[in-house]
Amino acid sequence: MNLDRRGWVLGTGVALAAAAAGAGWALWRHRAIPPEAAAALWDLSFDTPGGAKLEMGRLRGHWLVVNFWATWCPPCVREMPALDRFQREFASRGWRVVGLAADQATAVREFLARAPVSFEIGLAGPGGIELSRQLGNLAGGLPFTVLFGRDGAVMHRQIGETRFDQLAEWAAAVRQ
């Protein structure tokens, strides 16, 4: 095989691999979450760092941002101020933010003592990762954020750090 043909074959292979990766990413972002996975969330309750119960069912009917995080996760810690700002600025418009900590209760309490937030925190523990997988986090990575509509259906999800402007764009896109 001559050099020109070899380069063409290699270039075509790289282009096809890139197209397949892009298509896979698009399918993941738009893959429907089974309704039963989202519905199961509303039946759950979590202990809070303060010892109360966080009943997810009472949040149904609100626009809801659920963020899976851990104290040992640097991007999770970096995004906390953005989530807190979103809660403070959008609560009057019917939005709620819930952080589900896939972490040890003591670590979460210590973290929140140093960096308090205005949104509710549930102690999901290691089971939080499995719950996030049921909601579309195939890799089980953190942070993972899911936006729920008032009807309880998943509207959007993202793995990785979120920013305030992203959250505000999501809120605007769902046309309250």
Are 152 and 132 contacting, i.e. CB atoms less than 8 angstroms apart? Answer: no
Strands (E), 40-143: 45-47, 53-55, 63-69, 95-101, 120-123
Closest CA to 86 of 143, 176, 165, 172: 165
Q: What is the pLDDT of residues 55-71, one digit of tens each?
A: 999 999 999 999 999 99
Confidence of residue 140 (pLDDT cuts 50, 70, 90): very high
What is the structure's pLDDT at 40?
87
Q: What is the mean pLDDT of residues 18-28?
A: 43
Give the whole-number percent of the chain exceeding pLDDT 90.
Answer: 74
Confidence of residue 11 (pLDDT cuts 50, 70, 90): low
Look at residue 115 and tell me whether its pLDDT is greater than 90.
yes
Q: What is the mean pLDDT of residues 81-107?
A: 97
pTM strictly above 0.85: no
Are 71 and 77 contacting, i.e. CB atoms less than 8 angstroms apart? Answer: yes
Look at residue 17 and tell me whether its pLDDT is greater than 70.
no
Q: What is the pLDDT of residues 33-56, one digit of tens each?
A: 777 778 889 999 999 999 999 999
At 145, the amino acid letter reads T
Report the C-alpha gap between 99 and 115 in whole angstroms: 14
At 76, the amino acid letter reads C
Look at residue 16 and tell me whether its pLDDT is greater than 50.
no
Q: What is the mean pLDDT of residues 11-15?
A: 51
Look at residue 87 and tell me whether its pLDDT is greater than 90.
yes
Distances (CA, A) of 24 to 12, 29, 163: 18, 9, 24
Confidence of residue 22 (pLDDT cuts 50, 70, 90): very low
At 47, the amino acid letter reads D
The C-alpha torsion from 134 through 35 and 122 to 108, rounded to 10°, is: 20
